[in-house]
Amino acid sequence: MSSMLFSPVTLGPLQLPNRIAIAPMCQYSAVDGLPTDWHMIHLGGLALSGAGLLILEATAVTPEGRISPDDLGLWSDAHTDALAPLIRAIRRHSPIKIAIQLAHAGRKASSEVPWEGGANIPPGQPRGWQTVAPSAVPHADGETVPLALDDAGLARVKDGFVAAARRAHALGLDGIELHGAHGYLLHQFLSPLSNRRSDAYGGALENRMRFPLEVFDAVRAAVPREMAVGMRISATDWVEGGWEIEQSVRFAQELKARGCDFMHVSTGGVSPRQEIPLGPGYQVEFAQRIKAETGLATIGVGLITEAQQAEDILQQGQADVIGLARAMLYDPRWPWHAAATLGDQVFAPPQYWRSQPREHKALFGSTRLGQR
């Protein structure tokens, strides 16, 4: 009997051969926003994993929107040209669908890479710059106070998202995920912990949702309907008085009415005061509620590491797709091993067919570019 994990699914116009998505994972290995050899090696390997969808890491829409100076970017045609050979190489050797996460880090920008401590880099210091945000409120005590975005700044950010979306379409990518989670700019507008504005973009929920919805509308209008557009959100801040699931449901309903194709449901990131109850599948309940109350296709994440665990989440209707990040870094053949565990089939390039274990001789079957 076929598993649900390896059954087809659609995210709006995007058809996936299975329900495994490789979630965006920052590599902090770009130069001036341009991909390097590391990206070819890293993404090339993941493209051969058998997953149905690969979402490229958080990609900055403006230079000041990078989390670190070494983040990937898509704010110029030079970035498009540098990414194009990588996309072509993946397309030649894998049927995996490819999306990109477009992002602006807001007040969490200008930070050092994680293996160098990840600390905020003040403007004026080497590798640092002035950050922007909904309000002049730093992410943590002692960090750079961001400049509150004025009307011109809001327009510049929105235009950056639109231009990057058009470049993503020009690259032939299959989808766009807008980053509205983990305490980055769009999340900063949503959360009352970071949004202290008194204009039309702050205060009541409708106002705090306004700018993220404007960005979504602009991106949705900038690319053809055949290109999937969704959003990643943090369903709760895990801080009393912050953004929480009831507001997330409202936001998801507004996105659905505007043609959103999927929600990628995470949590946290906007405040160092967060208290996260970590455990297997600890974020899945939020995806389940958004799916149940809006009907939107959801990608569930959060310490999902085992094949049967992923299968059970799908069978119980908690999510439509399983998003894997750290688990894929640890085991880049996770989909192969999951298919073996569940008695199903998975794509593998012909160069690897002879690796098929005897006890799983039908694992790869006679697949050609993912077709059984």
Q: Which residues are catalytic?
A: 184
Which residues make Cβ contacts (< 8 Å) with residue 275, sequence separation at least 6?
238, 239
How far apart are alpha carbons 208 and 192 in whole angstroms?
8
**Across-strand partners of 268?**
none
How far apart are alpha carbons 69 and 119 in whole angstroms?
12
Q: If DSSP codes are grouped into helix, strand and coil, which group holds residue 238? A: coil
Counting runs of H as helices and runs of E as strands, what totals does the chain give? 10, 12
Tell me the C-alpha to C-alpha distance, in Å, between residue 94 and each of 169, 263, 327. Answer: 19, 25, 20
Which residues make Cβ contacts (< 8 Å) with residue 45, sequence separation at least 6?
332
Determine the residue type at 181: A
How far apart are alpha carbons 75 and 83 in whole angstroms?
12
Phi-psi category of 12—alpha, beta or left, where left has phi over 0 and alpha has psi -120 to 50? left
Q: What is the 3-state secondary structure (H, E, C) of 298-347?
A: EEECCCCCCHHHHHHHHHCCCCCEEEECHHHHHCCCHHHHHHHHHCCCCC
Determine the residue type at 122: P
* φ, ψ for residue 158, nearest 5 deg: -60, -45
